[in-house]
Every structure is written in C-alpha cells, then in structure tokens.
Amino acid sequence: MLLLLLALQSPACDADNGGLKLPPGFCATVVAKDLIGVRHLAISPDGSIFAGRQGKDGGLYYLRDTTGDGKIDLVSRIFDTAGTGVVWTPDAVYFSPEDRVLRFPWKPGARTPSGSAEVIVQGLPTGGHTAKSMVLGKDGSLFVVVGSMTNSCQEKDRASKSPGVKPCKELETRAGIWRFDSRKAGQTQASGKRWGTGLRNAMAMSLAPDGTLWAAVHGRDQLTQNWGFSEEDGAENPAEELGPITEGIDYGWPYCYYDPRNKRKVQTPEYGGDGTAQGDCGSKAQPAVAFPAHWAPNATVFYTGTMFPARYRGGVFVAFHGSWNRAPKPQQGFRVAFAPFENGKATGQFEDFALPAGEPNSIRPSGLAVGPDGSLYIGADREGKIWRVVSVSGKP
C-alpha cells in the first residue's frame, strides 16, 4: 500500500507525455495500454481503476498497479459482455451493457466481486445510439442515458429530404435520461422515471459537486448532405451542448438545435426549419456551454481534487471523441477540454486541456476520472490507452 501511495503522489511522467500536449505545469504518463475499446472509467480510493470496454474484448475490467511503479500490471476481466458505463461505490460496482444495468457487490480493497451480479435495470432499448452511460445521484438515484435510435427522427433515417415524424414517438423511450433506484433489482424502463428529454445522445454525463446532474450531448448530423445547407452551416451546426439536467427538462431534439454562431435554438429542417426560423425552440433548455459542432462528447467529469491549481476546482473536463460530419472542412474534436465554473455556475467559456501531440486526430478520448490524489485519468478507446495527468507546477 505504501508503494501504491508513493506512486500516486509521484509526478514522474513520460518524456513525451505519452503523446499528449498539455498546458504548462502539467505532465502525463501512459498507465495502461492494450485496452482497445476502453470507455468510461471509475476509480476507488485505493487507486484501483474500473473500466467499461466495447468491442470483441468488451466487458467490465478491474485494473491495478500492484508494484507501486505507477503502471497498471493487473488487468482482470470481471464481466465479458461489452458495455460503456461504470460507477464505483463503497460496497458495489455498477456496469451497463447495452440493454441493462448490473450491480456487482464489492468489498473495499477487494480485487473481485463478493457475490453474483444483480440486474438492477433490464430490457433497455438497443440499436442506434445504444451505449448506456450512468451516474449515481447523492440520494441513491441511478441516472441512465438512453440515446436516440435515429439521427433526427425522420420517416426514413438519414435519407435526403425525409420529413420528421411528428410527434416523434422515439421520445417515449429514447433520447433522454431515466431515473431508477440504485438499490432495487428487477426494474424496467417503464418502472423508472423519465428525468430529462430532447437529448439525442447524452452519454457524457456526470454529477456536479452540488449534486446536480450535467450532460454533454451529441448533436444531430447531415444538415448539408440531407437538406442542402451550405458546407459551412453543416460543419458549424449544431453546437455540442453542455448543461444541467434537472427534472422534466427538455433540450429540444429532434425539433430544435442550437446554432452557436447566432446563440439560439432554431427549428430543424425535418420540422419545417430553414436555419433561421425559431418557432417555439426558444422555450427549450439552452446550453450552459456550447462547444463546436460534431466534436462528439463521450465523457465528462467535474474536478473535485486539490492537486490541480485552484482555477480548475469545480469546473468540468469533457472528453471529445472527434468528428466525422464536418467534411469537406477538416474534422475536429479529438481532445479533452475544460469548462471553468465560478460560484457553482458555468462561465460559458472553455479551453483546450489535452490535445494530441501528433496528428490532430491521433487520439480519440472516451473516458475520464479524477484519482484519489487529484490526478486526472484519460482513456482513449481507439488507442486502447489510459493516461494519468498530474500537476507539477507546485501551485495549489
């Protein structure tokens, strides 16, 4: 244990920061690799990492540094069905394959579950945006994302000029966040509560220090390809929205999207919009932070540690997987950004925190977690790596 604690406190980093470009005063080391498909991360107080993993080797993984050298040497596959979401608690670890949420009983310091997994939620919709992310609320609530089946609820998905279905029936069971009881087995989506709606794919979800749920959302695609919008309009719209998810909130999908240049929500073309008409979209929830279009936010985490300088405390890191729908303009994203908060509120600004040191799309971040010592862990699924970022500035 002493060796582990010393390793967690050590600022030793890779000479090239493991391929990351970081702000002055920070450095990084690759602590784990060969984990293609790694998604969301959770870390226990003893430094053990729990990771969801997609792909052929997907499942729930337990990772640990047993030698104290700062590198993961124990990699254990706990459950062999692919999934994304993972949550650590003092007595259990939650994991979300595509169609359910499992609860593994787990004793502090253990390396394996202490019993069989319980099925907390079952029968969740699959297909389309099928990855399930989740957050545990301070009152024991379990929030689970159910992404949309389609791009924009068209009669024929992603087809040119196909109109939108109105009302969009998907919203009954998709494109939202549902609230469940984290301790009750055998729940279904129907027995849960739809907490927020109009969220196309809100998989980058986390809890703020004050207990409020927040999410960054994947916006819709193909305004140019399907509706003849200019290349610039298609590349720059819609913003990737970050905002609080309070009970009953509606962010407007599929009827509305947020134009970051004009700073307002407008009607989508599937429902009669022309890029400027607003209709009733002004009544929908507005983002607290608007990120560039098509960056694909895959994870968020609020910084609750004390290792990093004070300006980071209470703010949120966002892992962007990177775009595919900005062509012929260059694809963007492929980074971890930071959005500062002041007095518990987002300033509306953001800045780059971790960028690829090489080609702009050479790293695709997919998971984030704050370690027990205040370091930041970043996972990238295509690269199969996890980095640990530490502050070496000496400024608390």
Residue for token digits 């905002």? 243
Specify the pairing of strand 38-43 against strand 49-53. Answer: antiparallel
Strand order in the sheet with 213-216: 204-207, 213-216, 240-244, 289-291
How many other CB atoms sit within 10 Å of the CB of residue 33?
A: 17
- What's the CA gap between 30 and 20, in Å, rounded? 10
Q: Is 283 left (phi over 0), alpha (psi -120 to 50) or beta?
A: alpha
Looking at residue 396, what DSSP letter applies?
Answer: -
Q: Select from 63, 91, 58 the least CA-distant residue to 4.
A: 63
> What is the predicted pLDDT for the residue at 6?
36
379/50 Cα distance (integer angstroms): 12
| The pLDDT value given to residue 9 | 45
CB 236 within 8 A of CB 270: no
C-alpha–C-alpha distance, residues 293 and 231, integer Å: 13
- Cβ neighbors of 116 (< 8 A, separation 6 or more) are none
Contact 198, 250 (CB under 8 A): yes
pLDDT score of 395: 55
Q: What is residue 119's three-state secondary structure?
A: strand
Instruction: List the chain domain ranges.
Output: 2-391
**pLDDT score, position 4:** 41
Which amino acid is residue 68, in one-letter code? Answer: G
Helices (H), the chain: 2-9, 223-227, 231-236
Top CATH class, 2-391: mainly beta
Q: Is the pTM of this model over 0.85?
A: yes
* Closest of 322, 327, 349 to residue 338, by C-alpha: 349
Yes or no: say if 189 and 178 are a contact pair by the CB < 8 Å rule: yes
Region of residue 188 (left: phi > 0; alpha: psi -120 to 50; beta: else): beta
Q: Is the peptide bond before 297 cis (omega within 30 degrees of 0)?
A: no
pLDDT at 394: 58
**Cβ-based neighbour number of residue 63 at 10 Å:** 21
| Ranges of the chain whose pLDDT falls below 70 | 1-11, 394-396
Q: Which residues of 168-205 are buried (b: 16+ CB within 10 A; e: fewer)?
A: bebbeebbbbbbbbbeeeebebeebebbbbbbbbbbbb
